[in-house]
Structure formats: structure tokens, C-alpha cells
Amino acid sequence: MAPANEEEEVRLLGKWPSPFSNRVVLALKLKGVEYKYSEENLANKSDDLLKYNPVYKKVPVLVHNGNPIAESLVILEYIDDTWTNNSFLSQDPYERALARFWSKTLDDKILPAIWNACWSDEKGREKAVEEALEALNILENEIKDKKFFGGETIGLVDIAANFIGYWVEILQEIAGLELLTVEKFPKVFKWSQEFINHPVIKEGLPPRDELFAFFKASASKK
């Protein structure tokens, strides 16, 4: 356990349904770091959010001893550098480069493709679904027979792929799509089960029924 000492303050400004915000929750839990959490209402942004992330005004923002860091992948590396127990990045430069590459590819290519498919209208649906399946195929080829993307233990890419492990199942159900299934992507599917059943990860993910209700409500507003 690495508790915050009296002088040390760790704060997270987040939004519970956001996978990006959740990444930071998972990382802090994996490190056993105590932190204060503030739920942000993005329709009514707090003064703190505007102060700590003036560039994007978005969550998550980690504030460590008054020093703010924004952008979830940047925050994850900062957490791994600062609290050195239970590393989620290898010391080997090539392994680190690969982990960074896959985390960035998740954000730049894979997550957007799947998100778009889940929110697509009739017109764009076919193409969006095709792209989402291509994106999942890229991951299927990458996970191979590893337990986690990080190997035997949870790594940076696993944390970054929380959306794939947990959110996709919910969003695809709401959208009436079959994107990530055991038949289509057996390896990614197997990984998702390892991920959500990991003892620390399990405690850090938001409750399924609440997450479902949240996105279902968003879907019906469209």
C-alpha cells in the first residue's frame, strides 16, 4: 500500500461514466494510492477544472500536490513514474515503445471506430461497423495468446483498453450490434473476461447497471 502521507495530496477530477476518467481510477487503485475524487458536471464546470485544465477544460485531471496533469495517457505514465510499485510499464525501451504505440492506437484509431459504430445512424452504419470490426481485428492480432496486453500482469495497454474490456459490451447491446463477440474475436473476448475479473480492476469499474442506464438515457436523447 502506498498511502498519501500528510503532505502529499492526490486529487482526481473525473466523470464516472467516462472510460478516460476510469483509466486513472484503475491506475491509482493498482498502485494502492489514496486520492480524493471530485465528480465533475461538464455542463457546469467547476472553478477547479477550469483552473487545472484551462486548455481543454475536460476530465480526467490528476492534481498531485497542487500540480495538475491532463490527458489520460499522460496521467497514466506520470502515475507509473511516480509510484514505482506494481509497474505497468516495462523498463525495456522497446517494450515501452510498443505499449505507448498500442495505447495511442487505441485512442486514435480503435476507440473512435467502435464508438462511431455504436452511435451511427442508419446511413453511416454499414461502413462504421466495418471499420469497428477492422479495429477489433487489429487488437485480435496483437493480443495473440497473452493473458494481458502487458503479459502476465496488467499493463499500460490493458488499462488504456478498459473501453474495449467493459464499455463495448454495454454500448453494443444498446446499439443492437454484435461487435465484440467470442465467435468473432475469441482472443480479445478472452482478454476482456480476464480484465474485468481481475481483483483490482473489478473494484475500479463502474457498476454495469448504472453504466447501462447512463448510456441508454443518452441514446434515447438522440
Point out which residues bind other proteins (CB under 8 A).
Answer: 55, 64, 67, 69-71, 73-75, 77-78, 81-82, 93-94, 96-97, 100-101, 104-105, 109, 138
Residue closer to other proteins by CB (options 78, 214) is 78
Q: Give min distance, CB of 64 to other proteins, in A.
A: 8
Residue closer to other proteins by CB (options 105, 181) is 105
Q: Give min distance, CB of 104 to other proteins, in A.
A: 6
Q: What are the angstrom distances between the C-alpha of 47 and each of 9, 41, 51?
A: 18, 11, 6
Q: Which residues contact 140 (CB under 8 A, 6 or more apart)?
A: 185, 186, 187, 188
What is the H or E stretch that residue 12 is in?
strand 10-14
Residue closer to other proteins by CB (options 73, 174) is 73
Residue 45, burial from CB neighbour count under 10 angstroms (0-12, 13-18, 19+): middle
Residue closer to other proteins by CB (options 51, 104) is 104
Q: Give min distance, CB of 98 to other proteins, in A.
A: 8
Q: Give min distance, CB of 141 to other proteins, in A.
A: 9
What is the H or E stretch that residue 69 is in?
strand 67-70
The DSSP symbol for 38 reads E
Q: Give min distance, CB of 175 to other proteins, in A.
A: 25
Residue closer to other proteins by CB (options 77, 131) is 77
Residue-wise over 149-173: b if at least 16 C-beta within 10 A, else e?
A: bbeeebbbbbbbbbbbbbbbbbbbe
